[in-house]
Structure 1
Amino acid sequence: MSTLALARSLFALTAGTHFLFVALTLGLATIVAIVQTRAVFGGGDAHLRMVRFWGQLYVINYAVGIVTGLLMEFQFGLAWPGLADRAPGVFGAPLALETLVAFFVEATFLGLWIFGWDRLNRHAHLALIWIVTLTAYASAYFVLVANGFLNHPVGYVRIGGALRVDSTAALFTNPAALLPLAHVVSGAFLTAGFFMAGVSAWHLLRGHEPDLYRRSLRIGLSAAALAVLPTAAFGGVQFPYAHNDGGVRPLTGLSANLMMAAWAWMAVVALVALVKLPFRAWLLRGRIFLRVLPATLPLPYVAMLAGWIYRETGRQPWMIYGVLRTEDAVRPIGHGAMLAASTGVTVLFAALVLVNVTLLRRYARLGPDGAALGHAELPARPEPVPSF
């Protein structure tokens, strides 16, 4: 592979893998916040246990996702200095805002939420998870502003050899950013919904806590059913801003077909769920349906990766469409150095994905009683006083 091909592969690996973490984080954070709201305002112990259980899985996914995000930022500086040199404001400013929001505001309030159990007023603790959720959406928005500029550059002026912001409003209201944001939000609900439904169905098939997992199953299926049509709709309206140039047409065509096939299967499952949801007994009686749900869990990830490949490869050979070619943005370093960097990051990403899947699987199987989130450590028992 050439140095350019290695750099493109590194970007595909880091950005694509990080996006998989983001989708579950966004959707699961929102659902956890909704369930905690129900727990605070009239919910019982079951809702609180659900918050601890699903919140534990959310924190695991978020923590590993942060590391993948750091590596993605690293590869920008390592392999693509042309972006920083040619578009420091229009591309770098949204990413700087994302860093401030994600790594300072969001992480700070998430830490308060994690360690604030039984230490903060319940309403204050609830406010923390909603702040975390809103800042997560803000973080996604800033990233999509930067990515939207790559696909549909607006709001800039060329001064010398660099691109400068000419219209902040145009940059931050770019349709190539706002439409994908709506698509990502609905896709995040779809991902989190099928994640909850798949895990809940696995426990229900084994007879574990039917009341709790029935509630979780209904929440997950409701989220998936509500999100499946908006996800397709917001994806479809983006086609005018997508590109399908030259030699990448077979790849983009394959990606589009795979994305739509995965969505079609999820739509069928969501339709069956809509029919079954009003009937509590019927929802749990169909064991075939419960077996289908864990198998459906990976499909939102398949659709997301296929859609991301379609969006990102379609504009090649441009890094900034019509403005900066990909070959002009890559760092002119030796092939061996780029190969070593790509290999090292690939191994690290594979390890992170393995860690995330292992931890999610372990704590998902353990259930609410295995969640460490919100369980304060018992004080040490005092040593007995010797008697004389």
Structure 2
Amino acid sequence: MSAAELARLQFAATTGIHWLFVILTMGLVPLVAIMHTRAAYTRDPAKRAVRERMTRFWGQLYVINYAVGIVTGLVMEFQFGLSWSGLSKFAGNVFGAPLALETLIAFFAESTFLGMWIFGWGRLRKGVHVTLIWLVALTAYASGYWILIANGFMQHPVGHEVRDGVAYLTDFGALLTNSSALVALGHIALGALTTGGVFVAGVSAWHFLRRTEETELFRGSLRLGLWVAMVASFFVVVVGELQRPVIERTQPMKDAVLRNSGVAEVQARLVQEHGPGDYVPWQDTIRISMDVMTLIGNTVSTITFLAVILLWKDRLLRWRPCLWVLVVSVPFPFIASAGGWVVREVGRQPWLVYGELTVEDALSHVSTVSLAVSCSVFIAVFVALAVTNWTLITRFARRGPDATQLGATEPLPAEAAPVGAAVI
């Protein structure tokens, strides 16, 4: 493999694995926030106890995914300097700020709010405690926004001018309102909610297949997961289609490949605009990824819609094959999301910054041997982290609420409370 192929493989593998953590984090945290809000403001003591156990159970699964996933996120931005110094040199003045803001939000604000929420059980007033988990959800989506601002610039560079081969930011507002970023953010947010809803519904269905004694807890979880997944999966298809005009306007080659028409004409036009070269990306890869994403999206939408109907009079809980369908459906949104990223990233090749910087020009001057070693090490570590994450999630999901440790700490006694604790 060439140095460019190794660098692309490394970034694709590490980013792809990291994204599996991100999409579950973004999809699960709003559901946990809804559960916590309902638990905190339920007056009936019995219902409040069930909903609090529900919050702690799903919250623990979320915390596991977040804690392991944050490790994979630490190395993402370092790869720009490691393998893609040409990109950093060309576009660092433009998307350095969005990446810095994403780091501040994800590794400082979001982590701080989450830590306070984790250790605030029994120590904080319910209003403060509930606000913290909503702040975690807000910062999670804010983090995604800043990442997509940087990625959107690579898809459709706006708000800048190039001087002496370096891009300089000239219009921060144009960068923040880049259509390639905003429409994608809506699509990704809905995809994440679909993933979180299907995950909650699938795990709940599995416990009903085991004839769990936690009937009320998992019935409530199943209903919430299915409703969120049904609504989100319907609109994720709609918002996905809204990206087509943006792609047609900003990336004509990707549009031609997806339509399977006019590729030769676009190739000839790009040669006239940018000089000799092959501007056609991997067509089969893009089309297959698009078909997989579309097929899974429509399948999940249909499954969740039918499952919501079967919730009436608990028919869904009595029909075991339907429960098995929900369990089997858990990986589907992850696969669809990975397919979407393949379409988005591979489709703009051979450009790293569309129309302005090619992959070859962005590559660092690093030996093939060095890249082969770093590629092998990074992929091995990321695969190990992914296996660890899903092993832990599976273990705690199977054990159920009784094994939940989140929120198990007893509140501090009044005489041992620190000075000022009463005003929290």
TM-score range, shorter chain: over 0.9
Cα separation, 1, equivalents of 2:379 and 2:313: 46
Tell me how far 1:352 sits from its aligned partner: 0.4
The yes-or-no answer on 1:115 pairing with 2:119 is: yes
Return the alpha-carbon distance in structure 2 between the equivalents of residues 294 and 280 of structure 1.
21
Q: Following TM superposition, by how much is the alpha carbon of 1:239 offset from its aligned partner in structure 2, in angstroms?
A: 2.3
Amino acid at match of 1:97: L
Residue of structure 1 equivalent to 2:395:
362
- CA RMSD after TM alignment: 1.3
1:260 positional shift: 1.2
Match of 2:222 in 1: 217
Q: Is the 8 A contact 1:83 1:91 kept in 2?
A: no
- Structure 1 residue 354 displacement after superposition: 0.4
1:241 Cα offset (Å):
3.6
My pick for the range that moved more, 93-102 or 80-89, is 80-89
Aligned position for 2:32: 32
Is 2:242 the partner of 1:237? yes
Q: Name 1:204's counterpart in structure 2.
A: 208
Tell me how far apart the structure 1 counterparts of residues 222 and 328 of structure 2 sit (CA, whole Å).
15
Distance 1:247 1:97, change over 3 A: closer
Contact 2:281 2:346 in 1 (8 A): no
Taking the TM superposition and a 5 Å limit, the aligned residue runs for 1:277-356 are 277=311, 279-356=312-389
Residue 83 of structure 1 and its aligned partner are, at CA, apart by 1.7
State the 1:377 CA deviation.
Answer: 6.2
- Structure 2 CA distance, aligned partners of 1:253 and 1:30? 32
3-state SS of paired residue (2:167): strand
**Residue 171 of structure 1 corresponds to which residue in structure 2?**
175
1:218-255, CA deviations, whole angstroms, 9 ceiling, x for partnerless residues? Answer: 11101110111111111111123444251411110111
Contact 1:90 1:165 in 2 (8 A): yes
| Equivalence for 1:382 | none
Pairwise CA distance, 1:374? 0.5
1:377–1:40 distance in 2 versus 1, CA, 3 Å: closer
Q: Name stretches of at least 5 consecutive residues in structure 1 with no aligned partner.
A: 380-388
Aligned residue among 105, 109, 126 for 1:105: 109
The aligned runs of 1:49-198 (5 Å cut-off) are 49-198=53-202
Tell me the amino acid that sits aligned with residue 344 of structure 2: R
CA contact (8 A) 1:151 1:241 kept: no
Alignment length (residue pairs): 378
Moved >3 Å (runs of 4+): 240-243
The TM-score normalised by the length of structure 1 is 0.95
3-state DSSP class of the match of 1:231? Answer: helix
1:20 paired residue number: 20
Give the secondary structure class of the aligned counterpart of 2:184: helix
Cα separation, 2, equivalents of 1:100 and 1:83? 22
SS of structure 2 residue aligned to 1:376: coil
Partners of 1:93 and 1:189 lie apart in 2 by 27
Give the CA deviation at 1:162. Answer: 1.0
Q: Which runs of 5+ in 2 are unaligned?
A: 255-278, 413-424
In 2, Cα distance between equivalents of 1:236 and 1:332: 39
Deviation at 1:323, TM superposition (A): 0.6
Give 1:36's aligned amino acid.
H
Retained in 2: the 8 A contact 1:26–1:136?
yes
1:255 aligned onto 2:259: no
Q: Partner of 2:282: helix, strand, or coil?
A: helix
Partner of 1:44: 48
